[in-house]
Structure 1
């Protein structure tokens, strides 16, 4: 295993270099296992960095004290509690793994220990010493199907890379970026299945900027790898607010994805106590049944046909969802979780806006009449790399009256935004939003609600947004498709004088006819040669 590795100079170079190195491990591994191996390694590096930072702080605080006392204090697990650092025993520290990756004996078999054996042992030790990590960390690094030489090279690269030059706090920020970068890469690599654990950050940012979750409880009933929570924390950072004012609650059905979420939140310094104690189906068992939430952000799996449905479930306030589709079950579950001033944003399949199958039309009508739908946004296609179809976002609010969440009384109204033409293509299959796009959409909602953060005053914009009375929605059969209400954009005013326009169009048409004649002659000549 090589010990000399040049250090990339920029965050982008670092992320790209680490990904290329990690990609060497893929080999015969299944994509899901490969993902666990790499993300687990990123997490282990984070844990050690955070521990080392706290260790340095303790040493600085005790400067001048007795040497023996300092050494004992530095090895006291209680000194690390409550400081966003896990206790890391000596044999689980990154430095120990890097220093002993070659030539150490396996204590159980007396055989030479591989770097994978050392990492597995470190993971078990971490989980044993920190109850919050119990059942979370992967332990498959010593298996035969993992190339130990390449795993060692990846450890070397992580060891030599300078994550930050001014302390482990910046290192953790960069490690968080690396983790998100890897999640994005894995989602793209896994195709459609990748969308199960990863929602594009640009889409999540849009939802967060609209909800503006400054404090309270924030919940995701199908939290994937925890991206909604990470973006909520970043929102608070952008606005210089204390992230600890937001308590995170979530649940995830898939075991591996639940583990990813636990690690992702830890890397970003987010308290994950509110994440369910284990993975599980939200419909079958709501781990947070006793809690009401101030904000809900969710991207549920679309159109689930096989789900834990019970007709007498008290969550079905607006109607029992159909047997073969859980879309309206998700929406009603989320509505049932909101406090009296709670708000939610839910990414949904476009079919939810107009479907009448299995009583969905009546459920939708009941929600609209009860005044809990505040906004529907039609999103452009290709936001999800693995799914080309467009999606929509439903925004719910228990109270749309004038108050703490907005100065405009919007009871009896719903805002429709048609954002289908917004964004730009990153490549031929993926679209994203620019910062300006996100601000345009979010500020439209803020002005409509009369938020203090709004810039300007709300007004309907043909082809883009319209505030619609409930009576008009009723006349449209409770269809919630924004394009139905916002209409077509106004045509730009034509200021070209008629004489100049005729002359210009005549010239352009003549040139087009000449080119057509030339091409016709070329085609005829080629056909003649074929005879």
Structure 2
């Protein structure tokens, strides 16, 4: 095996090429779980083998001592369950069953750390075709990950970041090809960076995403703590409703070295699981942030009025739009003194009336809303509609609300628009300055918002209208006459040429 350092582009290209095994056979939305899980298994196996070989070199043939020392590693890899065990048997029937058994053994051996992570992911599935085709596909997959380029040993990779980044790279590309389902598991990294920067998580913070998808937003917040405080003293919490996506989040945390996390599997609105020891009260956090599903239908309206946690005391959101259900839940999980919150929402949340209007009014009257940021269209995978970020704070020092219209600040792409570093920097600078900027931002008083019937539609506050330049009719007429004279001259020249060639009179 080569031991030269691998670079990020090489590993990204290699794992993306491994998808060729499934392309044209099953959809990306189906095979993404196989690719991401195999990357996870390969990483565990290479790191474990690397450490085992080092101990053998150091202590010689002393299996009991080596076994005891290996059991104290960050994770345990049971005998027969490594990627290389599966690779050696790849030409034999039963690849799907062997992979599933190996994953189950890894779950069992690692207790709560990897409990149930693979239970919603099966390689022994009919989705891969009949047994012969399935076995061939999985043999190719094992061979793809067995190539020298995907040697993921610590000696070659150097840090967890390379693997974590490759995992995020795959998730992003799967999101780009997953259409409407992409929003279920992925928030664009630029949006995650913006939220993590604005919310400023610091040492000691407890950070929660109640609709965490694959965990990328939480991981960005963790990285921001390390950047701001040079400390790993923080805790990440999340909940995710979709089993396979929850598994992605757990693996993502592991690959990024985020051991101090608690990610629950379940429906946050119907069955919140981040509760205190007695199970009677919601846990509260310093930072709460999320990109929940937009205007979710069937979010749990039928039970909301009798919610045991009192989350909907400001009103019950409409049956077919769950945006304010998530907002209400998040508000109730903020710590009273340090709580701050950022949530991505569709623009309808800013101005829709009825029950949503009443909830919005109470949030503003309680002086919880801090900032409204309008984002560009086509920023999120799976939807072309523009979104907004709502920032809330406990213990605000004034009753103003800052409106930022960043809807025209983006880098245009073929299918997706993107926030550039300059776009993000401008938003953050404006947010920190907290003052009006012509055609970009407006600091509104409570009275102004009240006069607008608590409607938060951004154009009511930020005037981006550009007056058209005044037209000089005399100049236009003079230019027209000049062009007409030029045209007459050309016509005369053309007539002369035609006459010389024997055409015309």
* TM-score of the superposed pair, with normalisation by structure 2: 0.83
Q: Deviations over 1:303-355 (max 9, x none)?
A: 12312232133112322322332211111110000002210100111100000
> Larger deviation: 267-276 or 292-301?
267-276
Which segment is superposed worse, 280-289 or 25-34? Answer: 25-34
Matches within 5 A, 1:189-208: 189-208=177-196
Q: Contact (CA 8 Å) 2:21, 2:141: kept in 1 or not? A: no
- In the other structure, the counterpart of 1:473 is 449
1:175 aligns with 2:163: yes
Query: Is this contact kept in 2: 1:163–1:174, CA < 8 A?
Result: no
Tell whether the 8 Å contact from 2:284 to 2:335 is kept in structure 1 after alignment: yes
- Once the two structures are superposed, the pairs formed by residues 93-132 of structure 1 within 5 Å of their partners are 93-102=82-91, 112-131=92-111, 132=113
Closer/same/farther in 2, CA of residues 308 and 123 from structure 1, 3 Å limit: same
Instruction: State how far apart, in whole Å, the 1-side matches of 2:158 and 2:424 are.
Output: 27
SS of corresponding position for 2:335 = strand
Shift of 1:49: 3.5
Determine whether 1:336 maps to 2:321: no
Question: Partner residue of 2:368?
Answer: 372
2:236 match: secondary structure: strand
Q: Which residue of 1 aligns with 2:498?
A: none
SS at match of 2:168: helix
Q: What residue in structure 1 maps to residue 463 of structure 2? A: 487
Task: Give 3-state SS (helix, strand or coil) of 2:348's partner.
Answer: helix
Aligned pairs for 1:416-431 within 5 A: 416-427=403-414, 429-431=415-417
Displacement of 1:249: 0.8
Tell me if the contact between 1:378 and 1:481 (Cα under 8 Å) persists in the aligned partners. no
More deviation, 232-241/297-306: 232-241
Scaled by the length of structure 1, what TM-score is found? 0.80
Structure 2 equivalent of residue 320 of structure 1: 316
Matches within 5 A, 1:255-404: 255-271=243-259, 273-276=261-264, 279-290=265-276, 291-309=283-301, 310-313=304-307, 314-340=310-336, 341-357=338-354, 359-401=355-397
User: Shift of residue 140 of structure 1?
Assistant: 2.9
Q: Residue 214 of structure 1 corresponds to which residue in structure 2?
A: 202
Counterpart-to-counterpart distance in 2, 1:191 and 1:165 = 34
How much does 1:163 deviate? 5.6
**1:428-487: per-residue Cα shift (whole Å, max 9, x none)?**
x20011111111112222233xxxxxxxxxx41111111111101001111112222122
Unaligned 5+ runs, structure 1: 103-111, 402-410, 449-458, 520-531
> Which position in structure 1 is the counterpart of 2:402?
415
User: Root-mean-square deviation (CA), in Å?
Assistant: 3.5
Q: 1:164/1:92 Cα in 2 relative to 1: closer, same or farther (>3 Å)? A: closer
Most deviating of 430-439 and 112-121? 112-121
Retained in 2: the 8 A contact 1:164–1:171? no
User: Contact 1:294/1:343 (CA < 8 Å) preserved in 2?
Assistant: yes
Instruction: Write the distance in 1 (CA, Å) between the matches of 2:489 and 2:227.
Output: 60
Structure-2 change in CA distance of 1:280 and 1:142 (3 Å)? closer
C-alpha distance 491-210 of structure 1, shift in aligned 2 (>3 A): farther
Task: Answer yes or no: is 1:40 the counterpart of 2:37.
Answer: yes
Kept after mapping to 2: 8 A contact 1:253/1:282:
yes
Partners of 1:462 and 1:489 within 8 A in 2:
no
Q: CA deviation at 1:79?
A: 4.2
